[in-house]
Amino acid sequence: MLILSIESSCDETSAAVTRERDVLSNIISTQIDEHRIYGGVVPEIASRRHCENIAAVVNEAIDRAGVTFSDIDAVAVTAFPGLIGALLTGVNFAKGLSLSLNKPLIAVHHLRSHIAANYISNPDLKPPFLCLTVSGGNTVLCEVKDYTDFSIIGRTLDDAAGECFDKTARAMGLDYPGGVNLDKIATVADPERYPLPTPKINGDPYDFSFSGLKTAVINLIHNQKQKGNEIDVPVLCATLRKKVCDILIEKTFLAAKENNYKKIVLAGGVSANSELRSRFESECKKRGYEFYTPLLKYCGDNAAMVGIQAYYEYKAGNTADVSLNATATMPIDLR
């Protein structure tokens, strides 16, 4: 089954052609350079660029796959969650394509796609497994019981881990996207020199909170500046990275143990983080868990992962029609 998929939930316009779990093409047009001057994604600019780029990106995905539009069996699109104007561009384009080709339309949840990126990189991976999805807007710990059956057991109560990296990196003077640059320049953590708080949460032990940590780093930077002290940016980056990894790793292993999972999967943009990947890998080896994470090229937003998840949504009978609308927020277990 050949699926043409479209992703436009944030600042990447992407289209792909996939066959079940195989990627025939995956074109990504990124807007990072344009948003960099503002230090973050400007939603209105993102929507406009998606409108300008989408037709060319889709045509290139078809060409690179060596197929024609008439070979396509279904059209898939990220419909939720994301920036509403950005999502609408992809959703409307996909609806038009589905109508004109007279092929089924499949609406795909963005985080389900991030998880599905693992199916491309790990052909033997099958649910059930426990998955930690960490991105710029979400931090979710969920049980993946089947390809389209998800159950959330932990989530961030405020900021996502990626947001914490991005905003503290900006306060340290690093370029957008901060998380990527913070990871690149981080050296060795020194928690004595830069003591950072560990968030405490009442209630669910699998929930996360990163806003206090974000504020603590920003306050520390301002405080040191007011005293005329230089911040050792690579050391502060490493200290924060270690703290975020400690939190993510501790809660994930607790959830895996208490819920009897032996397979741990990492997904989302922050799964590209070098320390997070290497520590999860070594901890899983040490504690006897199987560990899966996407290839680096599939960690960020891309349409190939949308196409892979769309295949499973289609098999489960989850198709959409022209009444499909984009939705800015949507829990992973609902659609």
d(CA 134, CA 115): 10
Q: How far is the CB of 301 from ligand KG4 (least distance, A)?
A: 5
Beta pairing, strands 22-30 & 149-155: unpaired
Residue from 3, 6, 10, 41 binding ligand KG4 (CB under 6 A): 10
User: Closest-CB residue for ligand KG4?
Assistant: 269
Tell me whether residue 70 is exposed, middle or buried, using C-beta atoms within 10 angstroms of its C-beta: 0 to 12, 13 to 18, 19 or more. Answer: exposed
* Rounded-to-integer distance, Cα 292 and Cα 278, Å: 11
87 belongs to the binding site for ligand KG4 (CB under 6 A): no
Among 85, 127, 137, 199, binds ligand KG4 (CB under 6 A): 137
Distances 331 to 27, 207, 335 between C-alpha atoms, Å: 27, 15, 8
Instruction: Considering only the stretches 28-36, 172-180, 198-206, 207-215, report the one whose residues sit in contact with ligand KG4 under the rule CB under 6 A.
Output: 172-180
- Contact between 294 and ligand KG4 (CB under 6 A)? no
SS3 173: coil
Asked if 247 interacts with ligand KG4 (CB under 6 A), we say no
State which residue, 47 or 135, has the beta carbon closest to ligand KG4.
Answer: 135
Using rule CB under 6 A, residue 179 touches ligand KG4? yes
In the complex, what is the shortest distance from the CB of residue 174 to ligand KG4, in angstroms, rounded to a whole number?
10
Residue 229, classified by CB atoms within 10 Å of its CB into exposed (0-12), middle (13-18) or buried (19+), is: exposed
Among 7, 143, 159, 183, binds ligand KG4 (CB under 6 A): 183
Query: Is 166 a binder of ligand KG4 (CB under 6 A)?
Result: yes
By C-beta, is 92 or 273 nearer to ligand KG4? 273
Nearer CB in complex with ligand KG4: 85/268: 268
In the chain, the amino acid numbered 152 is I
Q: What is the CA radius of gyration of the chain?
A: 20
Task: Tell me if 81 contacts ligand KG4 by CB under 6 A.
Answer: no
Site string for ligand KG4, 250-279 (x = CB under 6 A): ------------------xxx-xx------
The Cα-based distances of 91 to 130, 189, 194, 228, 302 in angstroms read: 30, 43, 45, 51, 15
Those residues with Cβ within 8 angstroms of residue 126's Cβ, 6 or more apart along the chain or in another chain: none
Cβ-based neighbours of 81, under 8 Å, separated by 6 or more: 9, 109, 110, 111, 137, 138, 327, 328, 329, 330
If binding is defined by CB under 6 A, does position 118 make contact with ligand KG4? no
Distance CA 134, CA 144 (A): 15
Q: Can residue 300 be called a binding residue for ligand KG4 (CB under 6 A)? A: yes
Taking the least distance from each CB to ligand KG4, the nearer of 74 and 165 is 165
Q: Virtual CA dihedral for 330, 300, 112, 169, nearest 10 degrees?
A: -50
Closest to 108 in 3D by CA, of 65, 74, 151: 74
Position among 85, 90, 136, 154 found at the interface with ligand KG4 (CB under 6 A): 136
Give, as ranges, the residues between 21 and 60 that touch ligand KG4 (CB under 6 A). Answer: none
Closest distance to ligand KG4 from the beta carbon of 104 (Å) = 25
7 touching ligand KG4, by CB under 6 A: no
**Site for ligand KG4, rule CB under 6 A:** 10, 114, 135-137, 162, 165-166, 177-180, 183, 268-270, 272-273, 300-301
